[in-house]
Amino acid sequence: MKLWKKIRWYLFALLVFSGILFIIFNEDGVIKYYQLKSQLMELQVQIDSLDEVNTQLEAEIDSLTRKVPAKIEQTAREKYDMLRKGETKVEVIER
């Protein structure tokens, strides 16, 4: 009788240990959860960064659609290298 109790206890311990290993290492287990959580955090940082860029671009579009002269001039100078009459372009070469 005592041997049977010992065998049942070992089987129960083996079952619990196997269950814990399964929970940790299966394809949807704890390890996968933490990997996905880390990936989610990285993606959230990227989303936040892209939201900032998007806000800046929306502000630029808004100022261009409202035809703000200073913004139009700045865009023409920076993107298209346009100059006013009588201006000359000076390029600085850094060493």
The helix (run of H) or strand (run of E) holding residue 79 is helix 69-80
Q: Domain residues for 25?
A: 2-80
How high is the pLDDT of residue 79? 84
Range among 37-51, 52-66, 67-81 rated most confident: 37-51
Distance between CA 41 and CA 30 in Å, rounded? 17
Q: How many domains does one find in the chain?
A: 1
Model confidence at 54, pLDDT cuts 50, 70, 90, reads very high
> Is 95 inside any structural domain?
no
Question: 21 versus 37: which is more confidently predicted?
Answer: 37
